[in-house]
Structure 1
Amino acid sequence: MALGKSVYSLLFRRTSTFAVTVMVGAVFFERLFDQGGDAIFEQMNRGKLWKHVKYNYENKNEE
C-alpha cells in the first residue's frame, strides 16, 4: 500500500504531473508496440524480406 501512495502522490495527485505521466507513458508504449510489431513481422517473414535475400541478387564485382 505504501508503494501505491508514493506513486499517487508523486505522479497522479496534480493535474500537470498526471498529464506529463500520460504523455510520457504514451510515447514509451508507442515505441514498445512499434518495435514489438516489427520484431513479430520480421520473425514471421524471415527469409522473405529483401534484407534477408539481397545477397542472392547483388552483382559480384570479381576482377
Structure 2
Amino acid sequence: MSLWATLNRTVFKRTSTFALAVASGTFFFERTFDVASQAIFEHINKGKLWKDIKHKYE
C-alpha cells in the first residue's frame, strides 16, 4: 500500500482528524521556526546582545 493511501485513510478521511493534524502541525512548525529564527538572530548579533555585554556594566 502506498504512503498516500495510508495517509488518506488515517488522516484525511475524517474532518476531526484532519483538523487535529493541521493544528498540531501548525504548533510544531511555529515552535521550530521560532527557535531557528532566534538562534540565527543571536548568531548574527553575537557580542552585541545584553547577555554578552552584561558583565561590563554590573
TM-score (norm 1): 0.83
Letter in 2 for 1:31: R
Letter in 2 for 1:52: D
Letter in 2 for 1:23: A
What fraction of aligned residue pairs are identical, expressed as a percent? 52
Query: Which protein has the bigger helix share?
Result: 2
**After TM superposition, what 4+ stretches of structure 1 lie above 6 angstroms from structure 2?**
none
Corresponding residue of 1:37: 37
1:5 is displaced (CA, Å) by: 1.1
Q: Distance in 1 between matches of 2:8 and 2:47?
A: 48
1:43 is displaced (CA, Å) by: 0.7
Q: Distance in 1 between matches of 2:6 and 2:56?
A: 57
Corresponding residue of 2:49: 49
- Structure 1 residue runs without a partner (length 5+): 59-63
- Structure 2 residue runs without a partner (length 5+): none
1:57 is displaced (CA, Å) by: 1.5
Aligned residues: 58
TM-score (norm 2): 0.89
1:36 is displaced (CA, Å) by: 1.0
